[in-house]
Amino acid sequence: MSVKPAPAPFAGPFALATLSDSDGPAFPALVTPDEHVVDLRAALGDDRLTVRHLLEDWAAVLPRLRSLADDGSAERRPLAGFRVHAPVEPRQVFQSGANYRQHVIDLHVAHKAPGDDRPEAERRAEAAEIMDRRAEQDLPYVFIGLPSAITGPYDDVVLPAWAEKPDWELELAAVIGRPAYRVSVEEALEHVAGYTIANDLTDRATVFRRDMPQIGTDWLRSKNAPGFTPLGPWLVPRDSLADPGDLRLTLKLNGETMQDESTKDMIFDLARMVSYASQSARLLPGDVVLTGSPAGNGMHWGRLLRDGDVMDGSITGLGVQRTRCVAEVTP
Residue of 167, 295, 302 lying closest to 222 (CA atoms): 167
Contact 292, 173 (CB under 8 A): no
The answer to whether 155 and 326 are in contact (CB under 8 A) is: no
pLDDT confidence of residue 328: 95
What domains can be seen in the chain, in order of their start residue?
A: 15-85 (no CATH), 93-100+140-327 (3.90.850.10)
Taking only the tens place, the pLDDT of each residue in 218-236 is: 889 999 999 999 999 999 9
Please name the amino acid found at residue 22: S
Rounded-to-5 percentages of helix, strand, coil across the chain: 30, 30, 40
The string of pLDDT tens digits covering residues 248-260 is 999 999 999 999 9
Q: What is the pTM of this model?
A: 0.92
What mean pLDDT comes out for the span 6-20?
89
- Pairwise CA distance, residues 55 & 59, whole Å: 8
The 3-state DSSP class for residue 196 equals strand
Q: Does residue 208 register a pLDDT over 70? A: yes
